[in-house]
Structure 1
Amino acid sequence: MADETTPETGAETQAESRAGTEGHGLEAATLLSGGEGQGSGERGAGDGQKQTDGADGETAAQEVAPPDPEKFNLTMPEGSGYGEAEKTQFVAMARELGLTEKQTRQLVEKSAQARSAGLEAQRAARNKQVEDWNKALREDKEFGGEKFAENVEYFLRGVKHLDVSGELETLLEETGYGSHPGVVKAVARIGRQLNNDKLIGRGVTADDTALAERYFKN
């Protein structure tokens, strides 16, 4: 009869039916979800990549071997104030951060530049402060005006009396406190009390003049 099917035909129909049903019931895997074709390709590529990575890994390991900062030819910038102590610190920093010799040199140069700029700013601030103190002393009713020259001599006499080792003068000079109104007035009073002789007219030595010029610049 027309509706009868042969075993072979029936089997094919059933296989096609199952295939159709299975295909309809399961969505095809996209590249995002890892299709078989893509998965196979990825696995193949992955295997190949692993082999390549293995070969390159040895070369990479050799190329990135940690450098020895102790062997770096580091020279501290002239005038930077850096010495062996700072050099040792830079070597230790290079080792800790894994820096190359070039990177370490750049670090030293940048640090020296920053330090120089900082010192220059401090020097400018110190000089400005000294100028302001000198101006305040010249205008001070007790110390300045017509009494300024006399009081400066008293101050210098007091410094010489107190500065047995020479360290006081250096300290006052470096810090600028040789012009600090409070310090100057206190030392001047000591100089005034040393004896009853009037200092004006006693003769100012070259050392006195030089010291006064350093402390009280116009």
Structure 2
Amino acid sequence: MSQKRIAVFGASGATGREVVRHALRAGLEVVAIDRSQPDEEDRLEGVTYRQADVLEDDLADAMKGCDAVISTLGVAFSPSNAMSPPPLYTKGTGNILDGMQRAGIDRIVVISAAFVADQPSLPKWFKLTVVPALRNILEQMKEMEASLEEATNLEWTAVRPAWLIEKPANGELLVDEEHLPQEAFRCRIGDLGDFMVDCVKNEKHVRAKPAVGAPEDEKFESPLALGEEFVGL
């Protein structure tokens, strides 16, 4: 294993917390980077916490001493974000890449989305309703992926998860290149966090866009489930 210490951006978010937990279990040192520091009672033993805003700050110092980066930056779906999403995937990732170059880091794993590409296995109702609503966010993700592909001397992975669900890992994640495996409609954030850590620890899917997901119970894959989740945002 060449990477021993990883910087995790967005570490306080749902997926970021899963990445931190799985990284610790994998024996990696973790530097958790976010806009604000967590309260003492919310900090995990063995994690170094650093404060930085990916849209405003110089990030090289925040990543100092790290061997690789995992970015769990994400834009939550809301009407305002759908219309005008903050530039986390574009400007934020660009600032991370700039900081990495100056810090001497060449390995990064980021979260994109399966829906940046046409996914033949998606239910028709999802393609006709949700994907168009995410258009502006998905355009940012496409731009982010393009910036990774254009970067020289960068070992990147753009993970394309299916529709995320806040559940712990169950080890049943299915993986294919760029397009979701058949019936892999949802992706547990626990499995996503574990997968991202594995990509870094074991040098998997370098310069690739793995699409990840798994089948779930029908009650989690219906239009009703989508509506309930949006209401809860």
With normalisation by structure 2, the TM-score equals 0.18
Higher relative contact order (CA 8 A, sep 6+): 2
Larger strand proportion, structure 1 or 2?
Answer: 2
Larger helix proportion, structure 1 or 2?
Answer: 1
With normalisation by structure 1, the TM-score equals 0.19
